[in-house]
């Protein structure tokens, strides 16, 4: 997990029902907080609290979108493909597989193979 928060923090975050509901909604397509509140049947403050928590763990990204009337708003997107939680020797190991673009994957593969 690198420099991310502790395993317990990540497990607490994904253990929260509202956080999981938000993640499920944005895993299908990026959405604004208002769209999330409507689709998840949660209050806007609850949505913003969960989004902040998910962003703290780098599980969600945000982008600025521009409406037809010129107003700006944020849209949120899930920042990972999958999570694996494994219990081994009385310890939890949490792996979060991030979404990467093809050039980043090639560079990582090249580095892993010892390319210069």
Which residues, 6 or more positions from 111, have their beta carbon under 8 angstroms from its beta carbon? none
- Band (pLDDT 50/70/90 cuts) for residue 1 is very low
Which of 78 and 115 is assigned the larger pLDDT? 78
- pLDDT at position 41 is 96
Looking at domain 7-112, its CATH architecture is Orthogonal Bundle (1.10)
pLDDT digit string (tens) for 35-49?
999 999 999 999 999
pLDDT digit string (tens) for 66-112?
989 989 999 999 988 777 788 888 887 777 777 665 456 556 666 66
- As a whole number, mean pLDDT of residues 5-24 equals 86
**Which of 84, 64, 80 lies closest to 72, judged by CA?**
64
Separation CA 114–CA 32 (nearest Å): 42
- As a whole number, mean pLDDT of residues 20-27 equals 93
Separation CA 5–CA 27 (nearest Å): 22
**Which of 20, 11, 17 lies closest to 86, judged by CA?**
11
Domain ranges of the chain: 7-112
The C-alpha angle with vertex 113 and arms to 111 and 115, in degrees rounded to 5, equals 55
């Amino acid at each position: 997990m690198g420099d991310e928060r502790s395993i317990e923090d990540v497990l607490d975050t994904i253990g929260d029902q509202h956080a999981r509901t938000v993640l499920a909604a944005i895993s299908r397509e990026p959405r604004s907080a208002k769209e999330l509140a409507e689709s998840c049947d949660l209050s806007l403050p609850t949505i913003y609290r969960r989004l902040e928590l998910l962003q703290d763990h780098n599980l969600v990204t945000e982008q600025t979108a521009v409406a037809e009337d010129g107003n700006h708003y944020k849209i949120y997107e899930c920042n990972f493909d999958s999570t694996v939680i494994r219990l081994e020797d009385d310890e939890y190991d949490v792996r979060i597989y991030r979404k990467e673009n093809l050039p980043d994957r090639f560079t990582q593969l090249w580095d892993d193979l010892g390319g210069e």
